[in-house]
Chains A and B, each alone.
Chain A
Amino acid sequence: MRGAQLRTLAEGKLIAAARGGDARAFGELVRRYEQTVYRYAFKLCRDREKAEETFQDTFINVYRKLGSFDGRSRFSTWLYAIVTNNCLMRHRRRKIRDIEESLEALESPGTTAEGKFARAIARWDETPEDVVLDGELRAKIENAIGKLPPQYRIVFTLRDMEGKSTEETARIAGISAEAAKSRLRRARAFLREELTPYMSHPGRRSGR
């Protein structure tokens, strides 16, 4: 098949051709998805070198596992799951326990008998439009997302950065929809807490 034909070929036919051993079809699959795979890998790994290693591992895995892709899920869902697994395998497990305990605390901030929050939830006086994404804030954001344990970072990245639905996020991460919702809730709360010193003025925090 010629290059020009491949570029316009429907995804299903392209996958079928690649599964049948057509190297040019597989090369076209790589071309179509390489940016997506690298950028998602970077969001999970937060490191260019690890992202590129994951990127390479992913396409080698895609080639080797393409025969088992049954088309019941979307190809992109299957692909995201491979990237996710490769990132998890590469992730070092240090310092995860401490962060997980703080995420547990965010799950249940404690409430009074009336259901009000028992501890203060700091108010944000700034909005994203008010702040400049300077080096310091950017470093804080990078650091905070780097502190998230991988299973939380995966869900936050898929839902809030990649715009996947709860159901697709759950399928990619290999967890239930309820678990995906719970991890997203904790991840957002953790990331919010990390940015609170930059976004609220201490004298104006809620005392509730």
Chain B
Amino acid sequence: MKCSDVYRHICDNLDQRLGTRRCREIRRHLGACPECRAYLESLKATVTLYRSVPTPRLPKGAHDRLIRALRESGCLPAPAARTRRRRAHPPQS
């Protein structure tokens, strides 16, 4: 297997744990080629770095805004429809 083959196939499984013939060949090549080994390590580092950037959680108020949008779209009933057995309140603007 050549460096160019490793370059094309290395990404599918960065840890190369699969037992396929191709993965065994990649592992063998990596054992003898410091260039490809360094490239693989830098790809793993790339993924680690991108994963390390935190993703924000749902902002405060977004749930309520969603429920409002669902009601306006007719996906959820308006609150008055769910509380009709209770004492009627004037709708809030």
Chain A residues engaging chain B, CB cutoff 8 angstroms: 23, 26-27, 30, 34-35, 38-39, 42-43, 48, 52, 55-56, 59-60, 63-64, 109, 111, 114-117, 121, 123-124, 127-128, 131, 133, 137-138, 141-142, 145, 156, 160-161, 166, 181, 184-185, 188-189, 191-192, 195, 199, 206, 208
The CA-CA distance from A161 to B52 in the complex, in Å, is 10
> Once the chains bind, are A124 and B77 in contact (CB under 8 Å)?
no
A141 adjacent to B49 (CB under 8 Å) = yes
A107: nearest residue on chain B (CB-CB)?
B8
Specify the main secondary structure of chain A where it touches its partner: helix
Do the beta carbons of B66 and A63 come within 8 Å of each other? no
The CB with the most chain B CB atoms within 10 A, among A26, A131, A192, is that of A192
The main secondary structure of chain B at its interface with chain A is helix
Point out residues on B near A: beta carbons under 8 Å: 2-5, 7-8, 11-12, 35, 38-39, 41-43, 45-53, 55-59, 62-63, 65-67, 69-70, 73, 75-77, 82
| B45 and A166 contact, CB distance less than 8 A | no
Residue of B nearest to A38 (CB): B58
Measured between C-beta atoms, what is the minimum distance from B51 to chain A in Å? 6
Given known contacts A30-B66, A34-B58, A115-B4, A160 and B35 CB-to-CB distance under 8 angstroms:
no
- Residue of A26, A111, A116, A184 near B11 (CB, 8 A) is A184
Distance A64 CA – B8 CA, assembled complex (angstroms) = 41
Question: Hey, which chain B residues are within 8 Å of A35, CB to CB?
Answer: 57-58
Residues of chain A with a CB closer than 8 A to B66's CB: 30, 34, 55-56, 59
Kindly identify which residue among B53, B65, B70, B82 contacts A52, using a CB–CB cutoff of 8 Å.
B65
Cβ of B56: which chain A residues have Cβ within 8 Å of it? Answer: 39, 42, 48
The answer to whether A124 and B41 touch across the interface, beta carbons within 8 angstroms, is yes
CA distance A124 to B47 in the complex (A): 14
**What is the distance, in angstroms, from B84's C-beta to the closest C-beta of chain A?**
14
10 contacting pairs across A/B (C-beta < 8 A): A23-B76, A34-B62, A35-B58, A38-B62, A42-B56, A111-B4, A115-B2, A133-B52, A188-B47, A189-B11
